[in-house]
Chains A and B, each alone.
Chain A
Amino acid sequence: MQTIDMDTTALRDLNAALQAQANETNQTAWEIVNPKGSHAIAVGLDAPIEVTVKGSTGYYCAGMNKQATVHVAGSAGPGVAENMMSGTVVIEGDASQYAGATGNGGTLIIKGNASSRCGISMKGIDIIVHGNVGHMSAFMAQSGNLVVCGDAGEALGDSIYEARLFVRGSVKSLGADCIEKEMRDEHISMLTELLARGGCDAKPEDFKRYGSARQLYNFNIDNAY
């Protein structure tokens, strides 16, 4: 286990050390102590390593992650795992706005609640939130899955494309072109796998599925207001 203390190590050196790990590295376990809400911790990783951040992080923790598993033993600031490509990011506490924004792949697990715009413009990432998500979540979400075990705020899935949204609790309101959709067997099995991956014991049958009505897909003046 490699330990990096942010009280004594600069952000640049921390990221440079993590980014220097290659596919065949044998230094696979890393621990970051005293993060104290610093921004841009563990961004741009591209190796099968496991990084545990012992505390809360600022903006963009694990941004654009590839391959790595980043575990935040605290809460995460805005834009955690933004544009993630692959790998896994786990937040023990809550996540601030734009969690998983534009993510292309990999899994983001938030054990607490996520704030507004969770999964905004997501492009293939799977996001599993044990608690609630705030307003405008999955705005313009293109693909991937957002699983919410609690409630969703206003305007869920506004202008959504092909992403799938599963919500167990209430939805304050649906955004433009987002509708409730039938939960077919294929969705139950998909959700079963997602819940297992996210470490959730919720029952897939308790969820409702939401997605695009596909009415905004081609320009039409009646939609332009």
Chain B
Amino acid sequence: MKDLPNGAPRTVPIQSATFTNSVNAEIRRAAATGIYDIRGGGAKRKVPHFDDLLFLGASISRYPLEGYREACDTSVMLGTRHAENPIKLDIPITIAGMSFGALSGAAKEALGRGATLAGTSTTTGDGGMTPEERGHSKTLVYQYLPSRYGMNPDDLRNADAIEVVVGQGAKPGGGGMLLGQKITDRVAGMRNLPKGIDQRSACRHPDWTGPDDLEIKILELRELTGWKVPIYIKVGGARPYFDTTLAVKAGADVVVLDGMQGGTAATQDVFIEHVGMPILACIREAVRALEDLGMHREVQLIVSGGVRTGADVAKCMALGADAVSIGTAALIALGDNDPRWETEYQALGTTAGAYDDWHEGNDPAGISTQDPELEARLDPVEGGRRLNNYLKVMTLEAQTIARACGKNKLHNLEPEDLCALTMEAAAMAKVPLAGTDWWPGKSGTTF
């Protein structure tokens, strides 16, 4: 910056923290197009998260287990409350519901292969069950969604569990949208709609409203499947105490709670970034609801929304969850947003790591697309191998932490193993701020 003509220094230009470059660019884009931004993925802004928690590890008063040798059980049973055939998983990390239509057939197959190798489940999504996924997933959870696209009693009976989707963390209260570009003959056929038109997935179920109706809906689903398979209820992170209470009242075997960082195939950016609570703020409230009902561990809790590592898994367990679910991380393991496709990301006006126009169907990695040429880039066998590797690493990481805390079972981790780095995280997770014995709102304290 040049000094003033008289040699005096100038005021340096200061960028606004409110009107940042990206905010201004979005204002210009909106002004030019008149269309709000639709994208895939989860919240990109920083919110209090698992990174704001730390494990304490063992010390004089806590006795650790040997990191490689001593057993540390990772298995979990889901659906023990009512189902004749509850689900037993080797690891407490499940693959979240992601629709065929949003994802390619090859991606669904890769998810099934990887999850089966790792001893866990996958979940269908909007658009119904595909043979690729049923064929390759040993344990398959069938989503029962408001759109009911592709829903039929044969697939319901062919599932190992049913997940009634009330909401998603990325968009609690919102429906879905699959844009026409991704509606091929096959997708259109499964959804019983013309090819090439945008498909709305309704935001609420067509044949029930409220928890009393939901209870009867669940009765119907159980009667249809002979009370054999577990019934999950999935809700977005909005009012976790009440939603969990009502889900249990409605008869859920498992509650799936998805925080605001959770990915989606496509919705408005404003929805993703501004509606719903971070998963960190939801878990303890859901557990409190279960405890108040005497149902903790009786009705299992699966949490999701930004789970990336074994440390995240261990933290969820310590806060009282029974299992976690991953969407975005599984796609990255398959090759989504990989820098090897950087030239193509650039051509799409983005860069590896930031690519989120999944709804447009041009995914260079062949995952969020229905274009046969792009899809052919994803080898489902190799994808399955990569996902299995990743799930194994997460499991080993979680075990390492659990053993360091003296636990021979992942589920024995407890809030007392944790401390928080920030006041916000301490308040949300209800664990002490590091170096204190206090968190905001702790009972017996005055502020």
- A interface list, Cβ under 8 A from B: 11-12, 15-16, 19, 39-40, 43-44, 46, 58-60, 63-64, 66, 78-79, 82-83, 85, 97-98, 101-102, 104, 117, 120-121, 123-124, 139-140, 142-143, 159, 161-162, 217-219, 221, 224
Contact B227 A101 (CB under 8 A): no
A43 in contact with B223 given A85-B153, A104-B192, A161-B193 (CB within 8 Å) = yes
Contact B202 A44 (CB under 8 A): no
A121 in contact with B223 given A59-B216, A64-B152, A219-B177 (CB within 8 Å) = no
Contact B224 A64 (CB under 8 A): yes
Contact B151 A102 (CB under 8 A): yes
Closest Cβ–Cβ distance, residue A35 to chain B (whole Å): 14
Cβ-neighbour of A60 out of B193, B216, B226 (below 8 A): B216
- Chain B residue at smallest Cβ distance from A124: B192
Within 163-208 of B, Cβ neighbours of A (below 8 Å) are at 177, 179-180, 191-194, 197-198, 200, 202, 206-208
For the complex, what is the distance from the CA of A124 to the CA of B192, rounded to whole Å?
Answer: 8
Contact B206 A120 (CB under 8 A): yes
Cβ-neighbour of B207 out of A43, A46, A120 (below 8 A): A120
Is the C-beta of B71 less than 8 angstroms from some C-beta in chain A?
Answer: no
For the complex, what is the distance from the CA of A123 to the CA of B147, rounded to whole Å?
Answer: 10
Closest Cβ–Cβ distance, residue A85 to chain B (whole Å): 6
For the complex, what is the distance from the CA of A140 to the CA of B191, rounded to whole Å?
Answer: 13
Closest Cβ–Cβ distance, residue B322 to chain A (whole Å): 28
Contact A40 B206 (CB under 8 A): no
Q: Which residues of B contact A63 (CB under 8 A)?
A: 220, 224
Q: Which residues of B contact A140 (CB under 8 A)?
A: 200, 202, 206
Is the C-beta of B27 less than 8 angstroms from some C-beta in chain A?
Answer: no
Some 24 contacts from A to B, beta carbons below 8 A apart, are A19-B226, A43-B220, A43-B223, A43-B224, A44-B223, A44-B224, A46-B153, A58-B216, A59-B216, A60-B216, A64-B224, A82-B207, A83-B148, A83-B153, A98-B206, A101-B206, A101-B207, A120-B207, A143-B192, A161-B197, A217-B180, A217-B198, A218-B197, A221-B36
Contact A60 B217 (CB under 8 A): yes
Contact B193 A79 (CB under 8 A): no
Contact A104 B207 (CB under 8 A): no
Q: Which residues of B contact A79 (CB under 8 A)?
A: 207-208
Contact B216 A40 (CB under 8 A): yes
Q: Which residues of B contact A43 (CB under 8 A)?
A: 220, 223-224
Contact A221 B35 (CB under 8 A): yes
Q: Which residues of A contact B177 (CB under 8 A)?
A: 219
For the complex, what is the distance from the CA of A63 to the CA of B200, rounded to whole Å?
Answer: 24
Cβ-neighbour of A161 out of B38, B180, B194, B216 (below 8 A): B194
For the complex, what is the distance from the CA of A221 to the CA of B227, rounded to whole Å?
Answer: 46
A123 in contact with B197 given A60-B220, A221-B34 (CB within 8 Å) = no
For the complex, what is the distance from the CA of A16 to the CA of B84, rounded to whole Å?
Answer: 15
Contact B148 A102 (CB under 8 A): yes
4 closest A-B pairs by CB: A44-B224, A217-B197, A64-B153, A98-B207
Contact A142 B192 (CB under 8 A): yes
- Chain A residue at smallest Cβ distance from B225: A44
For the complex, what is the distance from the CA of A219 to the CA of B36, rounded to whole Å?
Answer: 11
Within 204-235 of B, Cβ neighbours of A (below 8 Å) are at 206-208, 213, 216-217, 219-220, 223-227
Q: Which of B156, B193, B220, B224 has the most CB of A within 10 A?
A: B220
Contact B147 A12 (CB under 8 A): no
Q: Which residues of A contact B220 (CB under 8 A)?
A: 39-40, 43, 59-60, 63
- Chain B residue at smallest Cβ distance from A64: B153
Q: Besides A104-B192, A161-B194, 7 other CB < 8 A contacts?
A: A16-B226, A43-B224, A82-B207, A123-B148, A123-B192, A140-B200, A224-B36
Q: Which residues of B contact A159 (CB under 8 A)?
A: 200
**C-beta contact mask, B373-411 vs A, less than 8 Å → 1, else 0?**
000000000000000000000000000000000000000
A44 in contact with B153 given A19-B226, A161-B193 (CB within 8 Å) = yes
A40 in contact with B207 given A104-B152, A161-B194 (CB within 8 Å) = no
Contact A121 B224 (CB under 8 A): no
For the complex, what is the distance from the CA of A80 to the CA of B148, rounded to whole Å?
Answer: 16
Closest Cβ–Cβ distance, residue A127 to chain B (whole Å): 14
Closest Cβ–Cβ distance, residue A46 to chain B (whole Å): 7
- Chain B residue at smallest Cβ distance from A139: B206
For the complex, what is the distance from the CA of A63 to the CA of B148, rounded to whole Å?
Answer: 13
- Chain B residue at smallest Cβ distance from A16: B226
Q: Which residues of B contact A221 (CB under 8 A)?
A: 34-36
For the complex, what is the distance from the CA of A104 to the CA of B149, rounded to whole Å?
Answer: 10
For the complex, what is the distance from the CA of A63 to the CA of B192, rounded to whole Å?
Answer: 19
For the complex, what is the distance from the CA of A40 to the CA of B226, rounded to whole Å?
Answer: 12
Closest Cβ–Cβ distance, residue B102 to chain A (whole Å): 16
For the complex, what is the distance from the CA of A217 to the CA of B178, rounded to whole Å?
Answer: 11
Contact A59 B213 (CB under 8 A): yes
Cβ-neighbour of A11 out of B38, B192, B223 (below 8 A): B223
Closest Cβ–Cβ distance, residue A184 to chain B (whole Å): 20
For the complex, what is the distance from the CA of A184 to the CA of B302, rounded to whole Å?
Answer: 54
**C-beta contact mask, B345-361 vs A, less than 8 Å → 1, else 0?**
00000000000000000
Cβ-neighbour of B180 out of A40, A46, A121, A218 (below 8 A): A218
Q: Which residues of A contact B219 (CB under 8 A)?
A: 39-40
Closest Cβ–Cβ distance, residue B205 to chain A (whole Å): 9
Contact B226 A121 (CB under 8 A): no
